[in-house]
Amino acid sequence: MMQVVVIDSGGANIGSVRYALERLGVDAVLSADPDRIRAADRVILPGVGAAAAAMARLRRLDLVEVIRGLRQPLLGICLGMQLLYESSEEGDVDCLGLLPGRVTRLEGGPGLRVPHMGWNALDIDADSALLAGIEPGAYAYFVHGYAAPVSADTLASCSHGRRFAAVCGRGNRFGAQFHPERSAATGARILENFIARGEARAAA
């Protein structure tokens, strides 16, 4: 039986992520135990809140090197995706460094509120098993004030004042800036694809 572990990163969305997985028939384990995380077939890193506080918690739990060393598919959700990058402007903190780039604050403007909160349409930027069945223009639910840049690792992007990475992937590392657990059919399909396939483009 496939073992799925949701890292106990302290995010407020952990319960809803596990419930979304339950709806797909996946009984995910919530854990901060390094051995259990390393032994999992799929690992999910959820997150809500500030990057500096989240990284401090991962360091306190001795999970930074554990996550960096994972060879199985890893999915970061919301703040969890941002933590995959080298650094974040939020708190000027070094992150996990699994993907190149720096997370920066979204800029507001006329009709543009920050945080970016609500439904927005996805642009598909690359073929990926993670996005199988997701059509261009599909809607997902976002809640964030910071975002990763569009780069060679961007699988899908979105616009709110500027374009930003909405889904990323390199090798076994993936991320969704939106909340799959709150994104109806789009989010369910992303989670299903991750669990079933757990692969996208080969590492660049």
User: Catalytic site residues?
Assistant: 78, 179, 181
What does the block give as tokens for 183?
């994104």
Helix (H), strand (E) at residue 146: strand 146-147
Both structure tokens of 149: 């840049």
Q: Which residues of 160-184 are buried (b: 16+ CB within 10 A; e: fewer)?
A: beeebbbbbbbbbbbbbbbbbbbbe
Read off the tokens for 162.
């500027």
State the distance between the two ends of the chain, measured CA to CA, in whole angstroms.
Answer: 31
Give the total residue count for the chain. Answer: 204
Q: Which of 168, 203, 193 is nearest to 85 (CA)?
A: 168
CA 141 and chain centroid, separation:
13
